[in-house]
């Protein structure tokens, strides 16, 4: 009777969709059939179970910013430094399919009237992986925040460093981390927003060490991927392992905020940190 | 003499054995085989040069992981005096997969930090095969900060397959520990030298590899992912590691080409594991050089240059 007790499980990360399309959408959390237009109005959160669908950089810009993003560094593009088999083709195909140049979009925008330096990652672009371009753009965003003396807000979603750029991807962790050290010394606020999933090289460089770390509910967050851990320790991982609540309980996330309240929460925090009424 | 021999090392090891036997025989029977021994030694030397100058990337990986390769505690014995190991992160526990301490290098105080793998099965388990937990990285940072407080230079030794992927490591914030180390070490106001002595395994290596000068030993590697991990992701087949090692460009020469490291420390012919003392002497020379060159350091300049060094890393089109 094992089948009878089987609980509905979330699909593994790589099988979950980013921004559902079509007229109807099945909730990946509870199985409810949702009307697409309504789902969009609800910021891609299931009205029945609260499951937060994965969304992309364009959606987060709409949700968080007052208006448009003044995008920066659009001219730096990905190359193939290691001559890695198939990499050029993969990047080109992803760019065409997703209408994005890389896994992060950066620039200036306003949130509740506060000017911020904003970076938002896109899990849909090769798993939000960080290669030379992502690292460079994030570094430049951090340095612009220092130069303009405006707070930094980063929305992360990433599987980690990009394998196809090898050691250069690893060095982007050092690059972005170094820039954060300068940000710290300049006493510029940094709000890090973690979304599903943020792991490995990105979590282990800039995402996990904001002045304030916010997570969306249910997001998978951590260093090693669950499958790697299972293979290493040769046992099943407990329910909820590496989910947002797990990190909150272990002291690595300040607060878990529903997508609907995300913008207001960021505004409240900015108002506090900048000591404005 | 050697406990573990890699396939491509075998011809050399066999020849060396033959020479040894011949020498023993010559001694006991008072035979004149001097010419023959000389001939074979010449041949062995030739063979060594031939084999070790033509290693492919996967062979380098296996040398980097050679179980007889010297580890941090071996090197400390060769060139550090008055070494005192310092334990614990003051938060959770001591992590034996990272050794941290203070000591004298040719009469100069230095802080020493590095991964430590085990030699025997028991020690391997105790040191978790050189794969640190968050408390290891936090201990490293704590001791490095102490060094910075008193203006003492730091030397780190990197040799890990990676940070440990386990339940406890995640519960205690492996990602946060690595991120914090990178950020904090980036602006420590003392000279920092990193030497990659064996495996430079991704974030687990980087967490103690933020430095003013990064050197790598001839047969060491530094990579964002293990060849096995890369192969299983790309081709769902970990046995294609050799192909993955080629693609990842993880050898000392590759890293120099990619401007990720500042220099290569050559190893005695046949690799560090075949002449530990010789390898230690070559490392000591580099530590000496670094300490001399940074003797009159200006903290602000040092940190500025360190930040710029990492800001420049990466290859992309446009600006």
- Residue pLDDT, tens place only, A167-225: 999 999 999 999 999 999 999 999 999 999 999 999 999 999 999 999 999 999 999 99
- The per-residue pLDDT for range A12-59, each reduced to its tens digit, is 555 566 665 678 999 999 999 999 999 999 999 999 999 999 999 999
**Mean pLDDT, residues B206-225 taken together:** 98
Choose among A56, A67, A156: nearest CA to A110.
A67
Choose among B224, B304, B219, B284: nearest CA to B260.
B224
Which positions 66-125 of B are in contact with A (Cβ < 8 Å)? none
Subunit contact A135:B225, Cβ cutoff 8 A: no
Closest chain A residue by Cα to residue B174: A223
pLDDT in the model for residue B53: 84
Contact status, residue A20 vs residue A39, Cβ threshold 8 Å: yes
Name the residue ranges covered by the structural domains of chain A: 10-53, 54-274
Subunit contact B179:A206, Cβ cutoff 8 A: yes
Question: What are the beta bridge partners of residue B264?
Answer: B216
Closest chain A residue by Cα to residue B232: A228
Closest chain B residue by Cα to residue A170: B224
- A chain contacts of residue B187, beta-carbon cutoff 8 Å: 178, 181-182, 185
Mutate to test the interface with B, among A86, A141, A177 (most CBs of B within 10 A): A177
* Max CA distance (Å), chain A: 64
- B chain contacts of residue A239, beta-carbon cutoff 8 Å: none
Mutate to test the interface with B, among A87, A147, A171, A225 (most CBs of B within 10 A): A171
- A chain contacts of residue B314, beta-carbon cutoff 8 Å: 131-133, 135-136, 168, 171-172, 175
Distance from CA of A117 to the nearest CA of B (A): 19
Which positions 247-276 of B are in contact with A (Cβ < 8 Å)? 247-250, 254-255, 258, 260
User: How high is the mean pLDDT of chain B?
Assistant: 95
**Mean pLDDT, residues B93-112 taken together:** 98
Which positions 282-311 of B are in contact with A (Cβ < 8 Å)? 306-307, 310-311
Residue B180 at interface with chain A, using a CB cutoff of 8 Å: yes
- Candidates A181, A185, A223; nearest CB to B175: A223
pLDDT in the model for residue A7: 54
Name, of A225-239, B36-50, B66-80, B236-250, the range with top average pLDDT.
B66-80
pLDDT in the model for residue B1: 46
Which positions 243-272 of A are in contact with B (Cβ < 8 Å)? 250-252
Subunit contact B169:A207, Cβ cutoff 8 A: no
pLDDT in the model for residue B122: 97
Residue A133 at interface with chain B, using a CB cutoff of 8 Å: yes
How confident is residue B26, by pLDDT bands cut at 50, 70 and 90? confident
A154's tokens: 């980063």
Between A93-97, B20-24, B285-289, the lowest mean confidence (pLDDT) is in: B20-24
Share of chain A above pLDDT 70, in %: 92
Distance CA B20, CA B25 (A): 9
**Mean pLDDT, residues B43-52 taken together:** 89
Residue A77 at interface with chain B, using a CB cutoff of 8 Å: yes
- B chain contacts of residue A161, beta-carbon cutoff 8 Å: 202-203, 224-225
Contact status, residue B138 vs residue B185, Cβ threshold 8 Å: no
Contact status, residue A81 vs residue A184, Cβ threshold 8 Å: no
Subunit contact A168:B313, Cβ cutoff 8 A: yes
Distance CA B232, CA A176 (A): 28
Closest chain A residue by Cα to residue B169: A223
Subunit contact B173:A170, Cβ cutoff 8 A: no
CATH-assigned architecture of domain A54-274: Alpha-Beta Complex (3.90)
The residue that leads in pLDDT, B21 or A56, is A56
pLDDT in the model for residue A45: 97
Contact status, residue B156 vs residue B113, Cβ threshold 8 Å: yes
**Mean pLDDT, residues B64-77 taken together:** 97
B85's tokens: 């190991």
CA atoms within 13 A on the CB side of A118: 25
> Cβ-count burial of B89 within 10 angstroms (0-12 exposed, 13-18 middle, 19+ buried)?
buried
Distance CA B39, CA B42 (A): 5
How confident is residue B27, by pLDDT bands cut at 50, 70 and 90? confident
């Amino acid at each position: 009777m094992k089948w009878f007790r089987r609980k509905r499980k979330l699909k593994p990360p790589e099988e979950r969709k980013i921004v559902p399309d079509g007229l109807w959408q099945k909730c990946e959390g509870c199985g409810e059939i949702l009307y697409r237009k309504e789902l969009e109005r609800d910021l891609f959160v299931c009205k029945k179970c609260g499951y937060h669908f994965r969304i992309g950089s364009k959606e987060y810009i709409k949700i968080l910013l007052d208006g448009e993003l003044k995008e920066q560094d659009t001219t730096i593009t990905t190359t193939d430094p290691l001559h890695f088999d198939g990499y050029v083709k993969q990047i080109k195909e992803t760019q065409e399919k997703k209408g994005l140049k890389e896994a992060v979009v950066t620039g200036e925008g306003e949130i509740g009237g506060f000017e911020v330096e904003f970076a938002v990652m896109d899990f849909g672009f090769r798993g939000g992986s960080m290669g030379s371009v992502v690292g460079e753009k994030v570094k430049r965003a951090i340095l612009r925040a220092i130069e303009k003396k405006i707070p930094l807000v980063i929305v992360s979603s990433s599987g980690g460093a990009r394998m196809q750029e090898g050691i250069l991807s690893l060095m982007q962790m050092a690059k972005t981390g170094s820039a954060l050290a300068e940000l710290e010394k300049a006493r510029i606020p940094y709000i890090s927003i973690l979304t599903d999933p943020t792991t490995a090289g990105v979590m282990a460089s800039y995402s996990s060490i904001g002045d304030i770390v916010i997570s969306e509910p249910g997001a998978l967050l951590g260093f090693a991927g669950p499958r790697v851990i299972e293979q290493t320790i040769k046992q099943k991982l407990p329910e909820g392992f590496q989910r947002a609540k797990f990190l909150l309980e272990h002291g690595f996330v300040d607060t878990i905020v529903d997508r609907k309240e995300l913008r207001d929460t960021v505004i409240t925090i900015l108002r506090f940190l900048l000591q404005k009424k | 003499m050697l406990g573990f021999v890699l396939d491509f090392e075998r011809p050399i090891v066999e020849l060396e054995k033959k020479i040894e036997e011949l020498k023993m025989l010559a001694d006991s029977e008072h035979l004149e085989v001097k010419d023959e021994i000389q001939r074979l030694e010449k041949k062995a030397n030739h063979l060594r040069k031939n084999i070790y100058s033509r290693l492919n990337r996967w062979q380098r990986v296996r040398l980097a992981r050679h179980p007889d390769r010297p580890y941090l505690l071996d090197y400390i014995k060769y060139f550090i005096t008055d070494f005192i190991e310092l334990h614990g992160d003051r938060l959770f526990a001591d992590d034996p997969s990272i050794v941290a301490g203070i000591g004298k290098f040719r009469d100069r105080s230095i802080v020493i930090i590095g991964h430590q793998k085990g030699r025997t099965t028991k020690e391997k388990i105790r040191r978790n095969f050189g794969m640190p937990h968050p408390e290891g990285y936090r201990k490293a940072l704590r001791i490095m900060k102490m060094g910075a407080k008193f203006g003492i230079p730091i030397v780190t030794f990197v040799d890990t397959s990676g940070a440990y992927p386990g339940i406890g490591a995640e519960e205690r914030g492996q990602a946060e520990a690595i991120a914090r180390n990178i950020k904090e070490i980036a602006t420590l106001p003392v000279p920092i030298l990193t030497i990659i002595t064996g495996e430079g395994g991704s974030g687990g290596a980087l967490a103690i590899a933020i430095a003013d000068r990064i050197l790598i030993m001839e047969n060491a590697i530094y990579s964002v992912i293990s060849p096995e991990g890369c192969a299983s992701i790309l081709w769902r087949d970990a046995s294609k590691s050799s192909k993955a090692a080629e693609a990842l460009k993880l050898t000392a020469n590759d890293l120099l080409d990619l401007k990720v490291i500042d220099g290569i420390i050559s190893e005695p012919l046949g690799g560090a594991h075949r002449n530990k003392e010789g390898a230690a002497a070559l490392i000591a020379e580099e530590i000496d050089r670094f300490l001399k060159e940074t003797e009159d350091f200006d903290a602000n300049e040092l940190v500025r240059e360190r930040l710029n060094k990492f800001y420049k890393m990466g290859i992309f089109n446009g600006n």
